[in-house]
Amino acid sequence: MDTELKRLLKESNIKLEFAPLRCPGLLVPGENNKPNVMIVNSSYDDEKAKNVILHELGHMIYDKDVQGDYKTDDCARSCSEHGANSFLIHERVKQYFALGNDFQTANWLDFAKSIGTQDYFQVQEELNKYKFKE
């Protein structure tokens, strides 16, 4: 696991565990119903696990602003998933440019496929943010 991911987990006070799951990952609530453990599907390779970790961290950050019940309210679930996916995409784009890639050679479709998302508009938006940083 890379140091940036370790830093994000440490800052969030999240203990990471791996276990055989029927889903990609989940957050386990602790004291005051605040998540303190993240469990990731143990069958995933490093890249897929990294995406799950970033997605679940996105839930931690954005779900507190979502009104409604995730399990019963489709709108709340959609907003929750959008926030989590946005965080995942933001972090992966940030890492992509930290590796020395430049905006001119970035292909949004290839990038989206490489991180396993079909949220093409969000990927384009994140990549475009770096267009003005150069």
Range of the domain at 37: 3-131
Which one-letter DSSP state was computed for residue 9?
H
- Mean confidence (pLDDT) of the chain: 90
Side by side, the strands of the sheet bearing 25-29 are: 15-19, 35-41, 25-29
pLDDT at 84 over 70: yes
Q: What percent of the chain has pLDDT over 70?
A: 98
Q: Under a CB-based contact definition with an 8 Å cutoff, are residues 126 and 90 in contact?
A: yes
Cβ neighbours, 10 Å, residue 61: 14
Give per-residue pLDDT as tens, 90-111: 999 999 999 888 888 889 999 9
Which one-letter DSSP state was computed for residue 24?
S
pTM of the model: 0.88
DSSP 35-101: EEEEEEETTS-HHHHHHHHHHHHHHHHHGGG--S-TTT-HHHHHHHHHHHHHHHHHHHHHHHHHTT-
Residue recorded with tokens 């799950």 = 52
User: What is the number of structural domains in the chain?
Assistant: 1
